[in-house]
Each structure stands twice: as structure tokens, then as C-alpha cells.
Amino acid sequence: MSGVFSVRAWSKVWVYRETFVLGLCNTIKTAVTALIIALVLGIIFGLMATSKKKILVLISRVYVEVIQNTPVLLQMCFLYYALAFSGHSLGIIATGFLALGIYTGAYMAEVIRTGIESVPKGQFEAAYSQGFSYIERMYYIILPQSIKVILPPMVNTIVNMIKNTSCLYIVGGADLLSLTYSFVTGENTGGSYAPAYILCGTIFFLICFPLSSLATTWETSLKKRDNRNAAIKEA
């Protein structure tokens, strides 16, 4: 662990601090865009999975299974090389958020499907009998009830997605981790392994830890409330 206490190594990191800021910006940019794509895909395919049309359910199943059972790295490589060799290269970050968005979208779809399925069937029927249209039914009746089931696992999915931005490394990488790696192995900047990795790890931890602990506490408090309600019902 040479270099943890070396002033020279730390000052080198300080001199090149813009590398890390750039990496962080790229990671955040990728993560936010991917999140938007994932949410859109997740809502569309989640609703399709809970619809009555067999064909829509089938399409959504195929999407979720194919994406969830293959590595995100492979999807990203595939997208990048397929675009590059056909001459429509989008650039690294665009490829990154597209691939990540599609990958995370499959997980979002599952989360949303479980959320909607957790609402008792009578609620759908009651809303239908009151003359609500599909959108009104979803927006006024189903969404408020399923949101508390959906949000905790959704936050966990987001944490995983933030960690997965490091996949960009394989297609040439401009994210935080890739830039850290090229910093520590670079010809002019190389050598200060420990400080650079400590900095990069701390940034990731500071982003992900609050989110994942929020999800955990949220989940436990919801479970406790459900248990209490069940106990009241039984009594």
C-alpha cells in the first residue's frame, strides 16, 4: 500500500483534480440519462406485462428475460461495435447511457410489474365499475397504492445502475472509474495508485451509500407497518 501517506502522490491527485471532476460529471450525465430511458422503458413494459393482451405480455416477458439473463457488458459491447462497424458511431457516453438504460429498464419493468400486481384485483374492478378510463384508473387508484411497493427496490436498482456506469471502461470509457484507471496508469500521471483509488471509491460510496440505506430503512419501516396492520386485523 505504498503511497497512502506520500504527500507527493496526494499532491499529484490534487494537480490533476480536473480529471476526477470530469469523470464524475460524465458518470452523473450517463446515470441520469440512463435513468430517464430506464424509467420510460420500465413504465411501458411494466404496464404491458400487467395488461390483458397476451401478445403484449409476451413481448414484455421476452424483453425482460433476454436483457436480465445476459451481462450488461456484453450488451454494451454489442451496441458499441454494431454501431461502430456499420458506420454510425454515437460516441462512448451515448452508447453508455443507451445500453445502461435498456439494461436497467428491464429491472424497472419487473419492479413496476410487481408493484402493480401487489394491488388487489378488486381495486381494478371497482375503478372500472366507476367508469374510470385506463389512464385515470392507473393514475388515481393503482399508482398511489403501488408506489410504496415500487420505490424501495427501484432505489436499489438505481444504485446498481450507478455502479454499472463503470462498464463504460470496456468501450473506451470516459466515466469516473475509467478516468481514474487511466490516471494511475498514465505515463505522466501514473504511480499514485492509493490516493486516486481512495478518492474514486469515496465518491462512489458517497453517492451510493445514502441511496441504498434510504432503500433499506424504507423497506423495513414498510414491512413493520404491514405487520402491525396485519396484527390489528387479526385482533
Looking at residues 139 to 178 of the shown chain, list those that interact with other proteins (rule: CB under 8 A). 159, 163-167, 169-170, 177
Q: Does 218 bind other proteins (CB under 8 A)?
A: no
Q: Smallest distance, Å, CB 42 to other proteins?
A: 19
Q: Say if CB 48 and CB 106 are below 8 A apart.
A: no
CA distance 195 to 4: 6
The burial class, CB within 10 Å (0-12 / 13-18 / 19+), for 189 is middle
Angstrom CA distances, 117 to 68, 110, 114, stand at 20, 10, 5
Among 17, 5, 9, smallest CA distance to 200 is for: 17
Site for other proteins in 192-211 (CB under 8 A): 193, 197, 200-201, 204-205, 208-209
Indicate whether 121 belongs to the interface with other proteins (CB under 8 A).
no
Instruction: Find the part of the chain contacting other proteins (CB under 8 A) among 14-22, 38-46, 79-87, 108-116.
Output: 79-87
The answer to whether 57 contacts other proteins (rule: CB under 8 A) is: no
CB 34 within 8 A of CB 126: no
Instruction: Give the angle 133-134-137 at the CA atoms, nearest 5°.
Output: 80
Nearest-approach distance from CB 74 to other proteins, in angstroms? 6
Task: Kindly tell me which of 43 and 214 has the beta carbon lying closer to other proteins.
Answer: 214
Nearest to 148 by CA among 177, 118, 169, 175: 118
Q: Is 69 in the site for other proteins (CB under 8 A)?
A: yes
Q: Is there binding between residue 58 and other proteins (CB under 8 A)? A: no
Give the binding range for other proteins (CB under 8 A) out of 49-57, 66-74, 108-116, 131-139: 66-74
Q: Considering the complex, what minimum distance in angstroms separates the CB of residue 77 from other proteins?
A: 6
Binding marks (x or -) toward other proteins, 81..120, rule CB under 8 A? Answer: xx--xx----------------------------------
204: nearest Cα among 168, 162, 170, 174: 162
